[in-house]
Amino acid sequence: MSYDDNNIFAKILRGEIPCKKIYEDDFVLSFHDINPQKAIHALVIPKGKYVDLDDFIQNASPEEMTGLLKGINIVSKKLGISTENGNGYRALTNIGKDGGQEVPHLHFHLFGGEKIGKMVE
Ligand code: AMP
């Protein structure tokens, strides 16, 4: 699947639509999910144009990979849900149709602030 420049997260990255920003650096942008499923529901997205995790693994640079993983850790600490300053969280990424992915720009969901419960329905 080729990258769609008109997906909603591409528009957020270009500043064309607003988001409730949590954190930003050279590699990632993080913001609150518009339709939170748990007490805390944040999204962490790479700044590069990657459709999903498979695309990212195959095409991202080592710096981008490190940047995304570090971004998740930074955001978890900022939100007080890391195991260092909170009670932990779940990081999840949906891939493709069967994975339930709706927005075709790689994103990690961070769920926390309460017990997250069953891993899958
Ligand atoms: P997924 O199903 O993994 O692709 O998740 C897409 C997520 O993006 C959902 O949890 C949506 O609630 C969220 N979402 C969609 N539009 C926006 C938006 N404009 N700002 C923040 N989150 C959004």
Q: Which of 55, 56, 83, 58 has the alpha carbon at shortest distance from 69?
A: 56
Q: How far is the CA of 60 from the centre of ligand 1 (A)?
A: 22
**Mean pLDDT (whole number) for 103-120:** 97
Q: If pLDDT is split at 50, 70 and 90, which confidence band does 118 have?
A: very high
pLDDT of 1: 78
Q: How far is the CA of 115 from the centre of ligand 1 (A)?
A: 21
Q: Which of 27, 106, 13 has the alpha carbon at shortest distance from 66?
A: 27
pLDDT of 121: 81
φ, ψ dihedrals at 72, nearest 5°: -60, -45
Which contiguous run of DSSP H or E holds residue 92?
strand 89-92
User: Does the pTM of the predicted model rise above 0.85?
Assistant: yes
- Distance, in Å, from the CA atom of 66 to the CA atom of 7, rounded to the nearest integer, reads 24
**Mean pLDDT (whole number) for 27-36:** 98
Q: Hey, which of 9, 19, 41, 103 would you mutate to test ligand 1's pocket, going by the most ligand atoms within 8 Å of its Cβ?
A: 103
**Mean pLDDT (whole number) for 11-36:** 98
| 109 counts as catalytic | no
Ligand 1: nearest atom to the Cα of 100:
2
